[in-house]
Structure 1
Amino acid sequence: MRAAVVREYGEPLEIEERERPAAPPDGVVVAVEACGICRSDWHAWQGHGDWVDDRVPRGQVLGHEPAGRVVEAGPDVETVAVGDRVAVPFCLGDGTCSYCLSGRGNVCPDGTALGFEADAPGAFAEFVAVPAADYNLLALPDGVSPTAMAALGCRYVTAYHALEHRAHLGAGEWLAVHGCGGVGLSAVQVARALGARVVAVDVREAPLTKAAELGADVTVDASAVEATATAVREATGGGAHVAMDALGSEVTARDALDGLRRAGRYLQVGLTGDDERGEIPLPTDAIAGRELSVLGARGMPPTRYEEVLALVTGGHLDPGALVTREVSLEEVPERLAAMTDYETVGVEVVTEF
């Protein structure tokens, strides 16, 4: 099979011939029909994450937002069959630990991260193997295309998990999204579906325009205002109830925190790069004095994907609206490189392998 492989950090991915994976006893092989290109792939390609012992190894097949069809199932698989249309979470739990059994499989200590670990080659490939299939896989509902499911990927479900399960964003509350890339734009649409009001913040015109199209009540060009947090507080009548740093920089994190109202909730979703290297100073006295909550979010538990899919099939969410470009496997190196200077908008999906 063909696959996009990291050979040297920061150098173009190489399209190589790889041996097709075999199904683990408790797992399956999925023929990939669509796979999103995510900024987390860009971080992996750049070799980031060594500061938390999370750098992908050279030789890794990237890609962690796939949907496709099962072509092989191991002998221990009970609920998934050859021919099933499925979505594959990137946080793969083992299905047996206390975290998995309590609905927190996205932080399973014995799980794997698809496309980021040597024992979990990713889905920028014609085929991908998925362990613990009965726990991790979910059926793709009729009417949801593989491309739309790939758009749900990690960004959309991460935004949903962050807002619904971690911050408990309520109807009528204000959400401030700092950074309108894939996860930020997903958060705009999810928040609107939850009945919240949204301020979208970025320094680029195209993502802000897209955010408005997706339902943002207010957009703020951070490069055109004197103080971003002040602009957010003015737009929301005192500050956002929830603020998300969807980029992972000291500037966006501080703006997000400073733009919160008292007792607000801060969400860290974006991953840091070489400048911050996993460490962002936070105003701890303000956090204590204003009783701010600081929360993190990573993907979404596989067992809760049905919540998002129900909103999609019910017409409340439209992940396909975020897809701005469909590309071939050969174009993946170029599209990752385009993320370096933030030249992409929305979600780009590989649909030709």
Structure 2
Amino acid sequence: MLEEFQEPLEVQDVERPEPEPDGVVAKVNGCGVCRSDWHCWQGDWDWFGYRPDPPHILGHEPCGTIVEVGEDVETVSEGDHIAIPFNFACGKCELCRNGRENICENHVGLGFMNEAPGAFAEEVHVPNADINAVPLPDEIDPDTAAGIGCRFMTSYHGMAHRGNVGNGEDVVVHGLGGIGLSAVHIANALGANVIGVDLFEEKLEKAEQLGAVTTVNASEVDDPAKEVRDITDGGADCSVDALGIATTCQNAVNSLGKGGRHVQIGLTTSEEEGKVSLPTDEFVAKEIDFRGSLGLQPSRYPEMLDMIKTGKIDPKELVSETIAIEAVPDKLAAMSDYDTMGIPVCNEF
């Protein structure tokens, strides 16, 4: 429970959620502990509406089992195992009707907004369940499903759809936290040659285990972007900023060659407040594309789940540890020094 920004989080007893007519309540089987939760705890992101009023339950990467169903729900039932996107959609607006539910006009952010208490809890409410409760195939076990949350599915959308990577392209990922390592793993599976960039050797080693063809330790070179341009003989085809600080965003853009495309997944901190200086004229002269990427549309989960079923990608490769809910506050605090690896998952409530 977030009682006050930047103050220690507390595990508390609260009333269980009740389903709205179009919603369901799910027993949480696992919920990833993400740097986005850290941002919310710090009080960041008020500049785009992701700052709830305390007290508030954090947590936005759940999978679960439906335990109660609202009277108007038609497509899911009690006992179904589901993935739960963090970017709840209404299913009715023009964007939803055109397959862009992830940026729904009536978007509600699970764990980030007052309307959607989060999933660091025994149970969580899922509104508009016919669109936001994504049934999981029987072949995907709970341990695998626990790694699908925000970082993995967001990286899938970023690489498969917004970056459209593959065909032996050079892809560079700056920032090898949970999103960055997921992006490495997924881009490799899609057929790209991936370069990982970070300051920490253990994260670089993990990137190579997940398919990176080479890595760059940004703490050991004067200009990480130039290193990437040299490795790729002129610049990458696609770059990813998976962290969201000015340095990684700028380095990622500067890693590109002519005609390259940049995918921005990381969101900024209170230092940047949503704005980063970028080489605008380079975008023009090199015809570089800058593409934002948010979450994953529920309607496109099946293609990611099919790749998981066939073993082409495996969220469990990114799950670094499983913890009890009492350990979540300390795990988030460790993110202040970037002292986490992969995707920690809370699975004991």
Normalising to structure 1: TM-score of the pair? 0.97
Partner of 2:125: 129
Partner of 1:35: 31
Aligned counterpart for 1:316 among listed residues 309, 312, 327: 312
Aligned residues between the structures: 349
Correspondence 1:247-326 to 2 at 5 A = 247-326=243-322
State how far apart, in whole Å, the 2-side matches of 1:156 and 1:239 are: 26
Correspondence 1:154-233 to 2 at 5 A = 154-233=150-229
State how far apart, in whole Å, the 2-side matches of 1:56 and 1:279 are: 21
Partner of 2:342: 346
Aligned residue identity for 1:139? P
CA distances 1:45-84 after superposition (whole Å, capped 9, x unpaired): 1100123343222111111111111000011111111011
State how far apart, in whole Å, the 2-side matches of 1:12 and 1:89 are: 27
Given that 1:67 and 1:86 are in contact with CA atoms closer than 8 Å, whether structure 2 keeps it comes out as: yes
Residue 92 of structure 2 is aligned to residue 96 of structure 1: yes
Aligned counterpart for 2:20 among listed residues 18, 21, 24: 24
Measured after TM superposition, the shift of residue 145 of structure 1 is 2.4
State how far apart, in whole Å, the 2-side matches of 1:143 and 1:69 are: 15
Aligned counterpart for 2:112 among listed residues 104, 116, 120: 116
State how far apart, in whole Å, the 2-side matches of 1:324 and 1:170 are: 27
Aligned counterpart for 2:242 among listed residues 241, 246, 263: 246
Partner of 1:236: 232
State how far apart, in whole Å, the 1-side matches of 2:297 and 2:47 are: 25
State how far apart, in whole Å, the 2-side matches of 1:150 and 1:283 are: 39
State how far apart, in whole Å, the 2-side matches of 1:69 and 1:258 are: 44
Measured after TM superposition, the shift of residue 179 of structure 1 is 0.0
Percent of aligned pairs with the same residue? 48
State how far apart, in whole Å, the 1-side matches of 2:146 and 2:311 are: 17
State how far apart, in whole Å, the 2-side matches of 1:44 and 1:72 are: 28
Normalising to structure 2: TM-score of the pair? 0.98
CA distances 1:6-65 after superposition (whole Å, capped 9, x unpaired): 111111211111100011101100000100011110100110012334322211111111
Partner of 2:10: 14
State how far apart, in whole Å, the 2-side matches of 1:286 and 1:152 are: 36
Aligned residue identity for 1:285? D
Q: Which moved more, 1:44-53 or 1:12-21?
A: 44-53
Measured after TM superposition, the shift of residue 146 of structure 1 is 2.4
CA distances 1:286-328 after superposition (whole Å, capped 9, x unpaired): 1101000000001011111111100000110011011111000
Residue 66 of structure 2 is aligned to residue 70 of structure 1: yes
State how far apart, in whole Å, the 2-side matches of 1:150 and 1:64 are: 12
Measured after TM superposition, the shift of residue 144 of structure 1 is 1.7
State how far apart, in whole Å, the 2-side matches of 1:206 and 1:19 are: 41
Partner of 1:138: 134
Measured after TM superposition, the shift of residue 170 of structure 1 is 2.4
Residue 47 of structure 2 is aligned to residue 47 of structure 1: no
State how far apart, in whole Å, the 2-side matches of 1:344 and 1:86 are: 27
Measured after TM superposition, the shift of residue 204 of structure 1 is 0.5
